[in-house]
Amino acid sequence: MPNLDRAPLPLASEHDTPFRMRDGTILRGDVHRPASGGPFPTLLVRSPYGEGSFRAVPKIPALEAGFAVVFQHCRGRGSSDGVFRPWLDEGTDGYDTIEWITAQPWSNGEVMAYGMSYLAGCALQAAALRPPGLKAVVATMTPHDFHDGLKYHGGAFALGSALYWGSMQAMLTLTHAAQAGEDVRAGFAELRPVIGAPARAARTLPLRDIPGIPWWEEWISHPERDDYWRELAGTMRHEDIEVPVMHTAGWFDVFLAGTLENHRRLGGPLVVGPWSHGASTGALDFGFAASAPAARVEARQLDFLRGADRGPAVRIFVMGDDVWRDEEAWPLARAVGTRYHLHPDGGLSTDVPAGDTPMTFVFDPRDPVPTVGGPVLFADAGNVGPQDQREVELRPDVLCFTTDVLDADIEVTGPLSVTLRAATSAVSTDWTAKLVDVHPDGRAMSVIDGILRARTEPGRPAEFVIDLVATSQVFKAGHRIRVEISSSNFPRFDRNPGTGRTGAETTEDELVVQHQTVFPGSFITLPVVPR
C-alpha cells in the first residue's frame, strides 16, 4: 500500500487584514503563511469579484512551495472601503499593497503578482509603476489595452461582454453599498431588467439608454481611442514593466489578442490552450490532455514565480491533432502565409478566381446574424468556443466559401486575416469573417472570427482587412475549410446602423438596410505550417 509520508503544514491566517492606501482608503483581504519559518516571498492576488474569485487561485500549492499568500479585495469590492472605478486605481493600489507586504516581518521583501482577466490586469498595472518589491507576474487571459480588444474590436463595440461584465460590476457596486447601510432599492430596480433579460437589453436603441451600469455611457460615447482611453492606457504602460511576465491564453478567449500582444511587448513564456475565458472548450472535446491541470500549467506558473521554470519559450495546443507542442517563439517562423481566394461560386482555394462576378447580400440591422459561439464573455456560458454554424449559414446575409474535401491535413498556426474587396450602399458598415472547420458529418465548427467597422463612400469598392487574431488548427484530411462573410455578429458586437452614427445615438427607426457587394480578389491569409 502506498505511503505518502507527508507532514502537516501549520498555517497562520488572518481574515480582513486592513491595508491603508496613499489616499487613506482602507482595503481589506486575507493573509495566509506558514506558521513557522520564513521570511517568505509573497504571492499577491487582487480581485474586484469578492471572495469567491479567490477559490480558484492555487493557495495551497503556493503555500507548499514556500510562499505567503495575500488575497486583497479591490477598493469598493468585498470588504474593502472606497468606490470601485474600473481600472483607474489598480496600479497605485497595487503599488501601495506591495509596499505594505514588504514591510511585514514575515516578508522577505519579494512579491509575485498573479491573476486571470481583470486580476491579471491589476498585476500588470502595478508592475508598470515599478514597486521595488515586485519580482515577477503571471498574467492569464487579460487585455493589453482598455479600448482595443477590451471594449472595442476592429472599431465595433464589444456589446455582449461589456453588457455582461458591466451589469455584474453594477450589481457588485450596489451590493457593496447595501453592506455599508445605503438604500440601493432604486438602483436594483433599474438594473434588474438588464440582468434578467440581457438579450432584450442588448437590442436597446439608442444604446446609451441601457440603464443601471455606472460607466456605460462613458464606454459607448468614446468609440475612438481618444483622450478618455489614453488616460486609462497610461495606467498600464508596457514600456515601464521591467519584471519577467508569464502569459497564459486560450484560443477561444475574448482576450486572446490582448494576451498575445502582452507577450509580444513584454516577452516571457507563453502557454496557449483550447480554452475560452475559463476552462470551457465549447462543443468540442479535445481530450483530457487539453485541460490546464493535465498540462501542469499551474505548477509551471508557480515554478516561474519561484525562478525555477525550465519550460519552453512557447507551448501551444494544436487543435485537430489535439496535442501540446513546444515552440521557440510566437509566431512560428516556419508558417507560410497562404492566400485562399473567395470564389463567386462559393469555392475557396489557392487558385485565383477566373471571373469577376461579384457576390452580394443584404444586411438589415433589425435582423442581425446571431452570435453562435466564438471568443465571447456572456452570461450564457454554453454559448462559447467552437459551435456548429450550420443554422447560421442558412441565412441569406451570410456568404460561405468552402474548399474541396481535403486529401491531406493542413495545419494553420499563427496570426490570420481576411482581406475583402467590397462595397456597401451605406456610409458606414461592418464586415465580419469567420473561419470554420467542416467535419465529414457536416458539422461546421467555428474556429475564430473577427470584425471591422468601416466608413466608406457608398457604392465605391475598397479594401478591408479583418483581423481574425490567431489560431492553431489542423484541418484534417476528409474535412473542408470554410470562410463565412457577413456584416454582423450580434450581440458579440453592436449593430452598425449604417448612418455613420454610433448605436449609442441611433434609434430603431433610423437603422439603414445595407446592400453589400464582395468582389473577386478577396481572400483569407492562412499561416500554413509545413508538415
321 is annotated as an active-site residue? no
**Residue of 55, 9, 59, 72 whose CA lies nearest to 32:** 59
Q: For the chain, what is the radius of gyration of the CA atoms? A: 24
93 is annotated as an active-site residue? no
Q: Are strands 444-455 and 428-438 parallel, antiparallel or unpaired?
A: antiparallel
The dihedral through the CA atoms of 345, 367, 200, 159 has a sign that is positive
Q: 521 burial class (0-12, 13-18, 19+ CB within 10 angstroms)?
A: middle
Selecting among 32, 222, 247, 277, the annotated active-site residue is 277
Cis amide linkage into residue 223, ω under 30° from 0: no
Q: Which amino acid would we find at residue 399?
A: L
| DSSP one-letter code for 476 | -
The number of CA neighbours under 13 Å toward the Cβ of 294 is 13
Cβ 388 vs Cβ 443: under 8 Å: yes
Place of cell 472595442: 152
Q: 501 burial class (0-12, 13-18, 19+ CB within 10 angstroms)?
A: middle
Selecting among 47, 53, 117, 522, the annotated active-site residue is 117
Q: 514 burial class (0-12, 13-18, 19+ CB within 10 angstroms)?
A: buried
277 is annotated as an active-site residue? yes
Measured between alpha carbons, how far is 483 from 473 in angstroms, rounded to an integer? 14
| Alpha-carbon torsion angle 449, 469, 255, 86, nearest 10 | -100
Selecting among 30, 89, 253, 430, the annotated active-site residue is 253
Q: Where are the alpha helices (DSSP H) in 8-117?
A: 59-64, 90-102
Q: 443 burial class (0-12, 13-18, 19+ CB within 10 angstroms)?
A: middle
Place of cell 472547420: 437
Grid coordinates in use for 282? 465549447
Grid coordinates in use for 404? 474541396
Strands (E), 35-163: 40-47, 68-73, 107-116, 134-140, 152-153, 156-157
Grid coordinates in use for 443? 458539422
Catalytic site positions:
117, 253, 277
